[in-house]
Amino acid sequence: MADRAAVEVRGVSRTFRGPRGEMVALKDVNLTIGAGEFVTVVGPSGCGKSTLLNLIVGLIEPTQGELWYAGEPYRGINHDIGYVTQADNLFPWRTVLRNVTFGLEMRHIGTRKDRRRRALELLDQVGLQGFAGHYRHELSGGMRQRVNIVRTIAYNPKVILLDEPFGPLDVQNRLQLQDLLLRLWQSRPGTTVIFITHDLTEAIALGDRVVVMSARPGRVREVFPVTLPRPRDIYTIHTNQIFRSLYDKVWAHLAEEMRVTTS
Ligand code: ADP
Ligand code: MG
């Protein structure tokens, strides 16, 4: 892990008021994520993974505890953090190019020409050259998710949160996008990634550490360092012996939590 902390989740709990009273979504979560680290998070459905990202980006506030960024506590939206949600949320009335330049326009980054150039370069890197003038409805699911990631990466946020971004994709698209994400991350040293997934293979293949959360109320159950070297070949890494033994070890924990959810 990097020696400098990017994001620190300190004793964070979050309660929601529902029709049947209060519901504790997260309870006393503690997590320190180093600058430049790629951390993946797995846990049973409903354990508060999305809530955790919403708290980190500042869309919601903790009921208890604090969030720290670069050594300081913060509240409200953290503008150094980019958020790639599961739904692509692309603007249907903007072209692919103008979806990518949107975040740059909002942040007044570069001239119109610079923004256009940067967007085209990134689209090129993810294999979408030739689709700059297309609209959302003209793209496949995999293409939409490429645009979704690129438009967040375009403004170079120091921290990127991704919430099950490859969930609905087929295996080939998933692997291609995992590979792309690793390349984009590696070409931006110091960028911190927090990546949520329900796929343990993906969590281990991508992460420096895998965080396993417990069933509701969500807590950090265990954190596993991934000692696989980088760069990683996403297409074959699951055959590696280190990968396999780590998978079995983490799976035992995850399976226990999944049983808790259904019982
Ligand atoms: P996960 O992403 O791990 O599946 P979530 O973070 O979406 O889990 O949700 C955790 C729990 O908190 C769920 O029981 C969910 O219904 C509840 N929850 C999440 N957001 C809200 C909200 N805005 N209002 C009420 N309950 C919520
Ligand atoms: Mg979720």
Residue 225 Cβ inside 6 Å of ligand 1? The answer reads no
Does the beta carbon of 16 lie inside 6 Å of ligand 1?
yes
The separation between CA 111 and the C-alpha centre of its own chain, rounded to angstroms, equals 29
Q: Do 252 and 184 fall within a single domain?
A: yes
Q: Which of 130, 156, 182 is the last residue of a domain?
A: 156
pLDDT at 1: 47
Atom of ligand 1 nearest to the CA of 44: 3
CATH number at residue 211: 3.40.50.300
145 lines ligand 1 (CB under 6 A): no
Pick from 3, 5, 17, 23: which is nearest to 66 by CA? Answer: 5
51 plus 121 within the same structural domain: no
Q: Is there an atom of ligand 1 within 6 Å of 25 CB?
A: yes
Dihedral sign for Cα 99, 104, 107, 108, please. Answer: negative
Same domain, 132 and 57: no
Domain that holds residue 131: 87-156
The pLDDT assigned to 20 comes to 86
- Regarding whether 230 and 169 lie in a shared domain, the answer is yes
Does 180 share its domain with 76? yes
Residue 154's pLDDT is what? Answer: 93
Closest CA to 217 of 62, 65, 52, 47: 47
Q: Do 185 and 61 sit in the same domain of this protein?
A: yes
pLDDT of residue 216: 82
Asked if residues 33 and 6 have their Cβ atoms less than 8 Å apart, the reply is yes
Residues 11 and 23 in one domain: yes
Number of domains, the chain: 2
127 in the same domain as 53: no
184 and 254 inside one domain:
yes
Segment-wise mean pLDDT, segments of 10 residues, the chain, 263 residues: 84 93 95 98 95 97 97 94 91 97 94 96 93 97 93 95 92 94 95 96 98 94 97 96 97 93 57
Verify that 248 and 176 share a domain, yes or no.
Answer: yes
Whether residues 113 and 202 share a domain: the answer is no
Candidate of 51, 197, 213 to mutate for ligand 1, largest count of ligand atoms within 8 Å of Cβ: 51
Q: Decide which of 156, 177, 201 is a domain's last residue.
A: 156
Both 163 and 52 in one domain: the answer is: yes
Q: Which residue, 110, 134, 156, sits at the end of a domain?
A: 156
Distance of alpha carbon 199 from alpha carbon 167, whole angstroms? 8
Which residue from 12, 56, 59, 80 is spatially nearest to 194, judged by alpha carbons? 56
**pLDDT value at position 168?**
82
pTM of the model: 0.95
Residue 56 is predicted with a pLDDT of 98
